[in-house]
Amino acid sequence: MILGTVPEAVVWAIYLAPVASFVVIAALSRTARFQGTSEYAGRITIAAIGIAWLASLWALDSAIGNDGESLAFAPHTWATLFDLNVTVGVHLDGLSGIMVFVVTSVSLLVQIYSVGYMEGDRGVSRYFASMSLFTAAMLGLVLSSSLLQLFVHWELVGLASYLLIGFWFDRPPAAAAAKKAFIVTRFGDFAFLLAVVLIWSKTGLLDIAAINDLAVAGGIGAAVLTGFTLGLFSGAIGKSAQFPLHIWLPDAMEGPTPVSALIHAATMVVAGVYLIARFFPSFEAAPAQILDLVAYTGGFTALLAASLGIVQTDIKRVLAYSTISQIGYMVMALGVFGFVAAIFHLFTHAFFKALLFLGAGSVNHATGTFDMRRMGGLRGYMPITYWTFVIASLSLAGVFPLAGFWSKDEILLDAWKYEKPLFVVGALVAGMTALYMFRAIFMTFWGEYQGGEGSDDEHAEVHGEPHESPRSMALPLLILAVPAVIAGFFNLGGGFSHLVEGALPDELRHGPPDIYGGIVAVSLVMAFGGIGAAAAIYHAGRPSAADVRAKLGPLPRVVEAKYYLDFIAETLIVRWILNGVIQRAAQLVDTYIIDFAVDQFAESVRRAGDAMRRVEAGYVQGYTSLFLAGVVIAVVVIAVLGTGVLER
Amino acid sequence: MTVDLAHYLTVSGLLFGVGISIALAKRNAIAVLMGIELMLNAVNLSFLSFSRFSGAFAIKDNPLDGHVFVVFVLTVAAAEAAVALALSVLIYRRRETVDLDRINLLRW
């Protein structure tokens, strides 16, 4: 600990600085002074996230000084409604300290990169306002002390991702992708909301730490805890793009590339991993099958997405499937009690995945396409992008001694200890990861230049020779390359473990990681095997890609069709079941029951009105006649019944 | 045959019936006004009859109440007739008709 204990106001500033940036840009963009200009938006965003980054350093420092244990900031009452007491507060411990550091660091570099990347776009101020909101929502999510506060920010992350994925909303695929991302994650969010309601109705608690404490103390029944953790896990499946709700993430590539970098590295998809980690004590206290489910869902997703990554031709989609696969890795780690391993992998992954996306954006900037078949030979034209991309790929592939090696190794170790089949899955995925990353490198940067330009250009300008990107784009690449190399060393002495495990109760801590030589060997063999295979097929051409394809029979076609999962989701579930059966049934009920009742009611009112309309014709003499008739009737009634009727 | 209250009231009732029939059935404004005058006078007749035969109802204190009412009714009727006739003349000048069905500018 270098500085004193962080005051609560500074922790709040981490969250409020980007919020302020969002509000200010949104307000200024409509004023006459700033209309049509764009530089100010980038500067405000960078300044705000810079402030948040500095504040997060202090917060992280304090968290380290406190051994990762939660710093006691009392929650503030926000609203009280009968027995529902909604509090807001900041929860700072080793886990959230690391998370705010990762989010602000990656976001800051992405914003700097965006200034160059988005230059000349008409919606720059809207872009930076949304980016500020996105970052703010993620920081708010990470720092939340109350489940409800977390849920609100969880939804805000969804909203901001919708705005950013659909940033170029005049392109139909982008608009569709934004909608898909929003609706698919909503399936998970719904279960999450049910979990919030369930835990509140059964325990009356919304405070995260209190829920975890009660769960660990055995104060929550097994059934309730099962429902609660399942709901949370469903939310995580949606946000973190796990099977079967992973289908939104590859489509989300329609957004600007820096947005993808942010979504994949620091915000959005890691929110699900963070959610499970935040409630890890509850997950451990729940019946063991829950964590098994988490582990196998993650492992299956990792394997599925890695295989899909091998057949993509769009460089961003390779990275998208890689993210799904790596997030699956983290989820799998959580399922095999690898709390530290998962967060450590999240930490290292954030840097090299952001670097990869920014590299892909840089390539697009130079060539005007994301199609790797139209690239090639770029390593001569853009050395910075090439070398940083290679470093990030080596790190992702898990090559010693880069960051990804250490975190992947911890996950494999935990899988070996607790769930042997998942170790096999993890090792396989490691090899496939190396294969698809180096396939991408050989297709993009080696061989002959294929001309670039395609229908997916994110920039309106005409491209000639490929060129290195401007300094504001190259600089973040270089900076990110540093943690992509060294981030793995932070846990060599168990420092990272100690920090993050401070968020857990004592009995759940495992202490510093061990290193098993055998596992290191397996992991390295898989990594170099994957790289070697990629080099043989996509560089040397012995055997050529076509030969390999022919040998594998129908398998490549199944994979290229995404295992028909998109078909199942879109045609079978959406078009046939939802649009076909359910919509048809709903339509019948609507037409013949609800509409019929409403129509009949309206018609009867209309008929009554039609009848009574004739009375109100506007003739005074007509009214008087009715009045006279009324008097006559009254007189007759009185005459028949006697004057007694008047005395009621 | 003595003429008692019932006879007066019968005449009054018939008069009122004739008046209201005219007021409701006629389309001519002047005729309607005449019908209203008939109704007013029918009421006057009832007032006077009740006043005259007040002993039959054991109302002893103010036998002149009915007369006072009649004076007021006559006054109001005169004023009403004056205003209504003036309006009719003005409307006739403008629209060349006093048909009530056609004086409908303010109708919805």
Mind listing the pLDDT tens digit for each residue in A192-242?
999 988 888 888 888 888 888 888 888 788 888 888 888 989 988 888 888
pLDDT, position B107: 67
A627 contacts chain B (CB < 8 A)? no
* Contact between A621 and B24 using a beta-carbon 8 Å cutoff: yes
* Sign of the four-CA dihedral A350, A352, A355, A360: negative
Residue A632 covered by a domain: yes
Phi, psi of A77 (to 5 degrees): -75, 130
Chain A closest-CA separation from residue B18 CA (Å): 13
Least confident range of A74-83, A233-242, A506-515: A506-515
Q: Which of A90-99, A125-134, A440-449 has the lowest mean pLDDT?
A: A440-449
How far does B104 lie from chain A, in Å, by closest CA?
A: 9
Residues A584 and A622 grouped into a single domain: no
In a domain, A622, yes or no: yes
The answer to whether A31 faces chain B, any CB pair under 8 Å, is: no
Residue A265 in domain:
no
Quick check: A554 pLDDT over 80?
no
Burial code of A571-588, b = ≥16 C-beta within 10 A, e = fewer? eeeeeeeeeeeeeeeeee
Measured distance CA(A33)–CA(A39) in Å, rounded:
12
Cross-chain residue pair A620–B100, CB shorter than 8 Å: yes
What's the whole-number mean pLDDT along residues A27-48?
A: 77
Calculate what percentage of chain A has a pLDDT beyond 70. 94
Say if the Cβ atoms of B24 and A618 lie within 8 Å: no
User: Is A621's CB within 8 Å of B100's CB?
Assistant: yes
End-to-end CA distance of chain A: 89
Average pLDDT (A96-123) is: 85
Contacts of B32 in chain A (CB under 8 A): 621
B108 in A contact zone (CB under 8 Å) = yes
Phi, psi of A522 (to 5 degrees): -60, -50
pLDDT for B74 equals 93
Instruction: Compare all CA atoms of chain A with the CA of B28 and give the residue at the minimum distance.
Output: A621
| Chain B positions in Cβ-Cβ contact with residue A624 (cut-off 8 Å) | 23-24
Q: Is residue A448 part of a domain?
A: no
Q: State the DSSP H helix or E strand holding residue A323, giving kind and residue range, or none if neither.
A: helix A315-335
Q: Is A375 a residue whose pLDDT tops 80?
A: no
- How many percent of chain A have pLDDT more than 90? 6
Nearest CA in chain A to B23: A621
A625 lies in a domain? yes
List chain B pLDDT tens, one digit each, 108 residues.
788 888 999 999 999 999 999 998 888 889 999 999 999 999 999 988 888 887 656 555 666 778 888 999 999 999 999 999 999 999 899 888 888 878 877 765
Whether residue A455 is contained in a domain is answered as no
- What is the ipTM, given to two decimal places? 0.80
Residues in B closer than 8 angstroms to A619, CB to CB, are: 101
Query: Taking the alpha carbons of A516, A520, A526, A529 in that order, is the dihedral positive or negative?
Result: negative
Domains recognised in chain B with CATH numbers: 5-95 (1.10.287.3510)
Contact B23 A620 (CB under 8 A): no
State the DSSP H helix or E strand holding residue A80, giving kind and residue range, or none if neither.
Answer: strand A76-81
On whether any CB of chain A is under 8 Å from the CB of B100, the answer is yes
Say if the Cβ atoms of B107 and A618 lie within 8 Å: yes
Q: CB-based burial of residue A554 (10 Å sphere; 0-12 exposed, 13-18 middle, 19+ buried)?
A: exposed
Query: What is the average pLDDT value for chain A, to the nearest integer?
Result: 83
- Give the nearest partner residue to B20 out of A618, A619, A628, using CB atoms: A628
In chain A, the number of structural domains is 2
Q: Which of residues 589-618 of A touch B (CB under 8 A)?
A: 618
Q: Does B23 touch chain A (CB under 8 A)?
A: yes
Answer yes or no: pTM beyond 0.80. Answer: no
Instruction: Clarify whether residues A605 and A622 are in a common domain.
Output: no
CB contact B105 to A (< 8 Å): no
Q: A286-339 pLDDT, tens per residue?
A: 888 888 888 888 888 888 888 888 888 888 888 888 888 888 888 888 888 888
In chain B, what residues touch A621 (CB-CB under 8 Å)? 23-25, 32, 100
Same domain, A601 and A624: no
Q: What is the residue type of A384? A: I
> Is A620 at the interface with chain B, CB within 8 A?
yes
Contact B32, B23 (CB under 8 A): yes
| Alpha helices in A204-268, H assignment, sequence order | 208-216, 222-239, 248-251, 257-265
Contacts of A511 (CB under 8 A, 6+ apart): A494, A497, A501
Question: Is the CB of residue A108 less than 8 Å from the CB of residue A464?
Answer: no
Residue-number span of the structural domain to which A642 is assigned:
617-648
Task: Please give the pLDDT value at position A460.
Answer: 47
Q: What is the least distance, in Å, from the CA of B76 to any CA of chain A?
A: 21
Q: Which of the residue ranges A330-339, A353-362, A556-565, B62-71 would you say has the lowest mean pLDDT?
A: A556-565
Nearest to A138 by CA among A149, A153, A159: A153
Q: Does A619 sit within 8 Å of B101, measured CB to CB? A: yes
CA distances, A238 to each of A19, A235, A244 (Å):
25, 5, 8
> Is A31 part of any domain?
no
Number of continuous H segments (helices) and E segments (strands) in chain A: 28, 2
* Chain A residues closer than 8 Å to B104 by CB: 618
A591 and A625 in one domain? no
pLDDT at A604 over 90: yes
- Assess whether pLDDT exceeds 50 at residue A580: yes
pLDDT score of A463: 53
* Residue-level pLDDT at B35: 93
How far is A153 from A158, CA to CA, in rounded Å? 9
The most confident of the ranges A35-44, A426-435, A445-454 is A426-435
**Which pair of structure tokens corresponds to residue A148?**
């409800």
**Angle in degrees, CA B38, B39, B44, rounded to 5:** 95
Task: Say if residue A448's pLDDT is above 70.
Answer: yes
Judged by a CB distance cut-off of 8 A, whether residue B101 touches chain A is yes
Instruction: With respect to residue A267, please indicate whether it lies within any of the assigned structural domains.
Output: no
3-state DSSP: chain A helix, strand, coil percent, rounded to 5?
75, 5, 20
Quote the tokens at residue A313: 């031709």
Q: How far is B28 from chain A (nearest CA, A)?
A: 12
Nearest to A618 among B23, B25, B104 (CB): B104
Q: Name the token pair of A371.
A: 């199609």
pLDDT reading at A92 higher than 90: no
* Strand, coil or helix: A31: coil
Instruction: Please say if the pLDDT value at position A529 is more than 70.
Output: yes
